[in-house]
Amino acid sequence: MIPIFETQYNENLFYSVYFIVFSVDFIIAYRNMWVRRRAGVKEREFSTFFIFIGALFFTIFFSFFFGYYSYFSGIGELPEAFIYVGLVFMIAGESFRIWAILTLGKYFSPVVTVYSDQRVISWGPYSLVRHPAYGGLLLGVALSLRSLFSLPLVLVDIAVYNYRANLEERLLIQNLGEEYLDYKKRVKKNHSLRILRP
């Protein structure tokens, strides 16, 4: 048993949710990339994909590191209930992301991509926030691992998400022009982590 979780039940619950969430995300997020491949790609930008993946692994690795540190030192350790709070955030964040991916349909790509037949999608989660696929999943992981020191790591993800979302918006404005600018005026929030705060 990993001591961060206090009980075997908590550990099994965490890893069940963790692996289901990431497996579902991987399957749904990458299926379009394999189906469409280069078909209809107008512009594609790879550098932020690797920054995004790097931030993901950075947050997860150090969330575990600080989880162990807080457990064994007693410094910054959050109550056991945060495991459940974190799992709720993981499920809610991933559910919102999957809704966004399915709504975007053939236009979704893990790599920032503009397709030749690209259109502005403004319904579903895209009526609430412009980049809903950036959700609260990693915040959930940080909370579940019960260290106060893990929470600031989410700020790194917010910075990376902002950078990536801004690049994506520049490409969409270049390629879609007024159609995207009109959408941007209607939907003010940039990405779904901002739904978590005013």
Residue 193 has a pLDDT of: 52
Rounded CA separation 64/2 (Å) = 10
pLDDT of residue 13: 95
The answer to whether position 113 is within a domain reads no
Q: Answer whether residue 27 is part of any domain.
A: no
Domain membership flag for residue 86: yes
Distance between terminal CA atoms of the chain? 39
Q: Give the integer Cα–Cα distance in Å for 196 and 163.
A: 19
Q: What is the pTM of this model?
A: 0.86
- Indicate whether 13 belongs to any domain: no
Provide the pLDDT confidence category of residue 198 given band limits of 50, 70 and 90.
very low
Residues 63-84 pLDDT 10s: 999 999 999 999 999 999 999 9
The mean per-residue pLDDT over the stretch 149-167 comes to 88
User: Is position 157 within any domain?
Assistant: yes
Residue 128 belongs to a domain = yes
Position 39 in a domain: no
Distance, in Å, from the CA atom of 191 to the CA atom of 178, rounded to the nearest integer, reads: 20
Q: Domain count of the chain?
A: 1
Q: Work out the number of other CB atoms within 10 angstroms of the CB of residue 174.
A: 12
Candidates 29, 26, 28, 50; CA nearest to 167 is 50
Is there a domain that residue 170 lies in? yes
**Which residue range forms the structural domain that includes residue 136?**
44-106+124-189
CA-to-CA dists, residue 138 to 22, 23, 89, 111, 119, angstroms: 11, 15, 8, 19, 29
